[in-house]
Chain A
């Protein structure tokens, strides 16, 4: 027994010794080069970019809102507010994204093993996505999105993130000017100024695998936890969500939980030696909210269709790095409106944009 123990001990010792033969440790206070990289083709990607969108379907021409829960004890229904006039120029939009992923207090361990390096940090991701008229003056609206949680990466091969995610959407002046005739600012079934698509906060689990330097695949699930602060529109709330002591949608099945599942693939090459990398990405999103049915043209009753598929969204993006920081990007989108308050509108557009991607790091300690 003693002999076996000695052999095991020696084996462990050699393994540990071998692993720590080339040991290194680094502490970064702040890094803009995330452990868990943003998804290239995701429309809500946290980045600094300006894009010009050309719509072939779903340019905003109305607002829909569902009625307040329990208001006047009436049945939950959808109200449609057509705009007084078209937003001009029609089918054009400018999208400005101000966002970044910050890695805070990053610990990186290097050692002599295929598992090296191992990194983990506290990650914050914030993005404000602004949508302007094509003439780049008035604002159609803006979405605030953020994530905070833990990220880790093993062997430059596999990375994870786990934390809380937030969506919130706000009308801008371009829309508010167009609904003034809809008794703007009054109560009742009339236009509600602060109505918004909000998920505050959902839980997020993500995994990303990079089997080689040019390939990445990822998967992500986003769901509301039982203690969620707010999820709106009310019609999208699962049956366990209560307000004023009453369930909002008691008739919805237990299986429904307003989940969002995303997956995608990214390929990166150095096609042009004098420029940066060429990347192509495909992002696919599924919204369980697709099972909630309503007439988004005329409004009216809301129903739940258990057999309906989840709503799908496709994004394809091609990016060409021009330098260390700047890239030009072309995107095709087919799915939800890029502006979350127009969640009801199926949208198709092509976008061309410039992205600025600083990836600096403030290192405190490196041995």
Chain B
């Protein structure tokens, strides 16, 4: 037995010595170059960009809200705007977002698993939407993630943490709606909100030009709030313990699943990478059925498919930081308070992507 332990110890020592022959450790206080990169074609990708959207379908023409749980039977109300917005079918979107890696630890050693990195990751984004002539605002979405991200061998990365969606009406909507919605309606604070979901993301980069990923987003049992009420699972309670949607089946949990593929290659050597990406989002909320033109009752259809959303994006880097992007979108409105409106648009964008790192400590065994 002693002999076995001794042999085992020696072997372990040899492996460790081998691994640590070229050991290195780096500590970065802040990094704008994330371990688990943003999904390239995701419409809520946190980035700094200016986008011009041209709609084929679903440009804003009404507000839809479901009634509060306290006001009796769940139903949907629709208020149609009396006139079009200026620059109908076009919209400007400004995104201010970034993924910030905090207290990143990177270990390098002589093994195919090297480097190993882990950090605390914060991803925050404010995306605001304006009329096509860029004066008033339709509204804005606040989206964030915080959690842990790690990366192994520049090949696999993961993130686990909490994810938040929240949306707010802007003055363009207030102007249109104030003459239509009766002043007694408490409508101004209505929002699509998920505060906060759990999210688990996995990304694989088998080589330098290819990436595939998948992400699973679901509300935990102690979620602070999830609205509209009609999207809440049957276990969600509000107001003196009353269940919001007791008629929904147990299988429904307002989940969002996304997956995608990205291909990046320096087609033009003097510029940066050319990238093309496809992102697919699936919303379980698609099983909730309502008339988004006329309003009325809300029902659950177990056989209905999950709502699908497609985004295709092509990007050409112009320099280290600047890129120009073209996007085709088919799915939910880019502005979350119009979650009910199926939308199709084409957009052209400029993106600014700083990826700086503040390194505190960098040590390497020679």
Contacts and interface: CB of A to CB of B under 8 A. Distances in A.
A325 B170 CA distance: 31
Interface in A133-147: 136-139, 142, 144
B142 interface: yes
A86 interface: no
A310 B334 CA distance: 45
A185 B175 CA distance: 8
A117 to B, nearest CB: 20
A143 to B, nearest CB: 12
Given A128-B94, A138-B168, A193-B171, A323 B357 contact: yes
Interface stretch (B37-45, B61-69, B274-282, B319-327): B319-327
13 contacts: A29-B318, A32-B321, A32-B322, A168-B135, A170-B170, A173-B169, A176-B174, A180-B188, A322-B29, A360-B319, A360-B320, A362-B318, A362-B319
A172 B171 CA distance: 7
B349 to A, nearest CB: 14
A142 B320 contact: no
Nearest to A177: B188
B352 interface: yes
A170 B168 CA distance: 14
A361 interface: yes
A193 B142 contact: no
B303 interface: no
Interface string A169-199: 0111100110010011100000001100000
Contacts of A170: 136-137, 170-171
A184 B183 contact: yes
Interface in A149-168: 168
A185 B322 contact: no
B140 A139 contact: yes
Contact of B171 (A48, A96, A184, A194): A194
B73 to A, nearest CB: 26
9 smallest CB-CB distances across A and B, nearest first, come from A185-B178, A360-B321, A325-B356, A358-B354, A98-B96, A323-B358, A362-B319, A325-B354, A322-B358
Interface string A58-91: 0000000000000000000000000000000000
Interface string B241-274: 0000000000000000000000000000000000
Which of A98, A177, A361 gathers the greatest number of chain B CB atoms within 10 Å? A98
B166 interface: yes
Interface of B: 29-30, 32, 48, 94, 96, 98, 126, 128, 134-137, 140, 142, 166, 168-171, 174-175, 178-179, 183, 188-189, 318-322, 352-354, 356-358
Interface of A: 29-30, 32, 48, 96, 98, 100, 128, 130, 136-139, 142, 144, 168, 170-173, 176-177, 180, 183-185, 193-194, 322-326, 356, 358, 360-362
B189 A173 contact: yes
B166 A137 contact: yes
B171 A358 contact: no
Contacts of A358: 321, 352-354
Contact of A185 (B98, B171, B179): B179
A325 B32 contact: yes
Contact of A194 (B168, B175, B319): B175
Nearest to A49: B96
Contacts of A130: 126, 128, 140
Contacts, number: 97
Contacts of B136: 170
A32 B321 CA distance: 10
B192 to A, nearest CB: 14
A173 B141 CA distance: 13
Contacts of A193: 171, 174-175, 178
Contacts of A98: 48, 94, 96, 126
A176 B188 contact: yes
Given A176-B188, A184-B178, A323-B358, 11 more contacts: A32-B321, A32-B352, A139-B168, A142-B128, A173-B189, A323-B356, A326-B32, A326-B356, A356-B98, A358-B353, A360-B320
B348 to A, nearest CB: 15
Contacts of A326: 30, 32, 356, 358
A324 B359 CA distance: 11
Contacts of A361: 319
A144 B134 CA distance: 10
A171 B48 contact: no
Given A173-B188, A185-B183, A194-B171, A322 B94 contact: no
B356 to A, nearest CB: 4
Contacts of A173: 168-170, 174, 188-189
A229 B345 CA distance: 33
Given A168-B135, A362-B322, A356 B178 contact: no
B318 A30 contact: yes
B333 to A, nearest CB: 18
A142 B319 CA distance: 31
Contact of B128 (A128, A136, A137): A128
B366 to A, nearest CB: 22
Nearest to B352: A358
A180 B32 CA distance: 42
